[in-house]
Amino acid sequence: MGWDTGHVRVDEVGSLAVLPTGESIVTLDELAESASLFKALGDPVRVKLVALVRRTPDGEACFCDLADEFDMPQSSLSHHLKILVRAGVLARERRGTWSWYRIRPEPLEIMETLLRPGGPLREPPGDVATQPNRCD
């Protein structure tokens, strides 16, 4: 069984995604998790939230401090933070009446692996990238 990414057919072999060249890129679980991470970080507000939390001296930020950085209702900001927590990018801890957020490094390390030079999303997949589009 396989799936089509538009121009490259990717076949499932066990739990790996394999390009037509036979090169294993990442596990299917890693692909699903990566898609979730990219989707969560696909909004400028959420990227700014991650950057703000990452730049704090002790690696965590209170909702009250984050809210000061945005000109939006608190409910909208809470929604963005909830998406980041659900995707595993941020961890949330309740302290009294406030929520505190910190970066979870594992998901960002997965993205870094995919995007690093020579990584599966950084370099074209060999001959497959140069094949003519079958739809033309």
Per-residue pLDDT, 4: 40
How far apart are alpha carbons 90 and 107 in whole angstroms?
Answer: 9
Per-residue pLDDT, 62: 96
One digit per residue, the tens of pLDDT, for the chain of length 136 reads 444 444 344 444 455 554 444 454 566 777 777 788 889 999 999 999 999 999 999 999 999 999 999 999 999 999 999 999 999 999 999 999 999 999 998 887 877 777 777 766 665 555 555 556 656 5
Bridge partners, 27 (sequence order): 16
The reply to whether 112 falls in a domain is no
DSSP, residue by residue, 30-98? HHHHHHHHHHHT-SHHHHHHHHHHHHSTTSEEEHHHHHTT-SS-HHHHHHHHHHHHHTTSEEEEEETTE
Per-residue pLDDT, 2: 43
Per-residue pLDDT, 52: 96
Q: Which residue has the tokens 């941020």?
A: 90
Per-residue pLDDT, 135: 62
* Structural domains counted in the chain: 1
The reply to whether 2 falls in a domain is no
The reply to whether 122 falls in a domain is no
Per-residue pLDDT, 109: 81
**CATH code at position 92:** 1.10.10.10
Structural domain harbouring 68:
38-107
The reply to whether 22 falls in a domain is no
The reply to whether 124 falls in a domain is no
Per-residue pLDDT, 51: 94
The reply to whether 69 falls in a domain is yes
The reply to whether 96 falls in a domain is yes
The reply to whether 136 falls in a domain is no
Q: Which residue has the tokens 């037509």?
A: 20
The identity of residue 73, as a single letter, is P
